[in-house]
Structure 1
Amino acid sequence: MQVKSPEFKAPELKDLEESPQPLAAEFLGTLLLVFFAVGAAVLAGEYIGTLGIALAFGFTLLALAYTIGPISGCHVNPAVTLGMLMARRLDLETAVKYWIAQIVGGIAGAALLFLVAKQVPGLKTSEAFGSNGFGDRSAVHINTGGAFVAELVLTFLLVYVVLGVTHKVAVVGFDGLPIGIALATIHLVGIPLTGTSVNPARSIGPAIFAGGAALSQLWLFIVAPLIGGVLAAVVHAITHPQPNVAAEADRAGRTPDVR
């Protein structure tokens, strides 16, 4: 018996501009990613270890891909949205709205996690709280340059995979599976280095509540992932040449349907 992948209708670009649903989905998706995946590190890290934390990130994103992918594309990450913008699958106005929804969602998720963490006796939230870091805040004490390169390359992989397996802006069929696997693999490598950001919204929320060095080092986990997202879009355009130009498709009254 042949099993068909789920059939989801990809959102039209005009729908992304006119409907509040994609923005609500990006807000909620980023909130849940931070609460559950970062929460795995904050609340259960000593019990599940690096592998468990990596799987929490991968599985959470995989679940969200199938839940909100048909609505917003399940970016839940400003670097992914920037990659989509560079690939001309989104317009600038929509991208800016996505970024705002993602950052606010990340902060809200961190706030909920902070509230739960404060109910656990003896759990330290200052300076750490699932935030990212380098130097003495890195498990292997990676320096600034090494952390920057690591975050750039790790984000490159994530955004490159997203661009490579998705049509248009949406996650459909089995597209979510390689994306979730990629994020889990990225965390296996990145957790000992920087705690793994590859997502400015994921880093901003926890850093606000951790304070101290987490905030002073936050710039790297915003800049490096965004550069990684841009490079992924550039390389993807070289390795996957395609007439996938959102503006042209929108003017023609259709949505591009190529990889």
Structure 2
Amino acid sequence: MTQEVATEAAKDYHEPPPAPFIDPKELTKWSFYRAVIAEFVATLLFLYVTVLTVIGYKSQMSRSSDPCGGVGVLGIAWAFGAMIFVLVYCTAGISGGHINPAVTFGLFLARKVSLPRAVLYIGAQCLGAICGVGIVKGLNPNYYNNNGGGANELSDGYNKGTGLAAEIIGTFVLCYTVFSATDPKRNARDSYVPVLAPLPIGFAVFVVHLATIPITGTGINPARSLGAAVIYNKEKAWDDQWIFWVGPLIGAAIAAFYHQFILRAGAARALQSFRSSTHV
């Protein structure tokens, strides 16, 4: 035990304790509910801007024979990545800047957030996404419906297994980046890399969209997919909806396990602690 304390004291970074599974005191604080509101508003803004970008591009393509017309797939990917960068930057100090149920789920599995916080965050994100897409449709219903509503659907030529794999891998990349960019060990003298955390997270969203837009339209965010499906409300969007929940949640779980137990050696530390306790 003395050796463990000495080792902890020798570290030049602070390792925060695991979040409690349920913390009753948390529910009595205004900061908790302020964070939930921040997640709602951020996800609303995220869906408003990105869905408008998607349907705007489709509208331009339907009215022009120029394959380079509109913002293109590159522009859509930039819209998603840039909005995540902006919103994570704005909300990180309030709620942690999750803006994605898969990210919240991964952080919960890694014991970075409590169960009540995770549940309320996910609820706020889903509600914010629905409201954000609802505003887009409210501005011009015909324009919205005629251009696909920004809904995530499996593209022709791909089977559901391929779509699921794309969502798992894409969300793994995103959540792995989130864990790495927010790792407290980055402050250690021997491994410090100056980084603005929202920047690599936004770039992760950008590159994943470039890779998977042709396959699934890119979900990697169950709230984004749900919000568009609820407001667009077409059969194809609902038939494929499970892919955009199961895939991201699996990808987030794998990222949490990989970072906590492989990169941060959580399993080795637990085993060492167990072995030490057997000799007490």
The TM-score with structure 1 as length reference comes to 0.80
Matched, 1:86 2:109: yes
**For residue 37 of structure 2, what is the aligned residue in structure 1?**
24
| Structure in which a larger fraction of residues adopt helix | 2
Give 1:124 deviation, angstroms. 5.1
Residue deviations 1:118-143 (CA, integer Å, cap 9, x gap)? 2xxx6351682111111xxx1x5211
Tell whether the 8 Å contact from 2:181 to 2:195 is kept in structure 1 after alignment.
Answer: no
- Within 1, Cα distance between the matches of 2:195 and 2:254? 26
**For residue 160 of structure 1, what is the aligned residue in structure 2?**
176
Structure 1 runs (4+) greater than 3 angstroms displaced: 13-17
**For residue 151 of structure 2, what is the aligned residue in structure 1?**
131
**For residue 121 of structure 2, what is the aligned residue in structure 1?**
98
Matched, 1:108 2:131: yes
Residue deviations 1:39-85 (CA, integer Å, cap 9, x gap)? 21012344101000000001000011111111111100000000100
- Within 1, Cα distance between the matches of 2:93 and 2:120? 18
- Within 2, Cα distance between the matches of 1:126 and 1:217? 20
Name the aligned partner's letter for residue 104 of structure 2.
T
**For residue 224 of structure 2, what is the aligned residue in structure 1?**
202
1:180 corresponds, among 186, 202, 206, to: 202
**For residue 146 of structure 1, what is the aligned residue in structure 2?**
162
| RCO higher in structure (CA 8 A, sep ≥6) | 1
What is the count of residue pairs matched by the alignment? Answer: 223
Name the aligned partner's letter for residue 101 of structure 1.
A
**For residue 249 of structure 2, what is the aligned residue in structure 1?**
226
RMSD: 2.3
**For residue 211 of structure 1, what is the aligned residue in structure 2?**
233
- Within 2, Cα distance between the matches of 1:182 and 1:157? 7
Larger Rg: 2
- Within 1, Cα distance between the matches of 2:249 and 2:174? 12
Name the aligned partner's letter for residue 95 of structure 2.
S
- Structure 2: gaps spanning 5 or more residues: 1-15, 61-69, 185-193, 267-280
Structure 1 residues 242 and 126, CA gap change in structure 2 (3 angstroms): farther
The TM-score with structure 2 as length reference comes to 0.74
Residue deviations 1:179-226 (CA, integer Å, cap 9, x gap)? 000100010011111000000000001111222211121111111111
Percent identity (aligned): 37
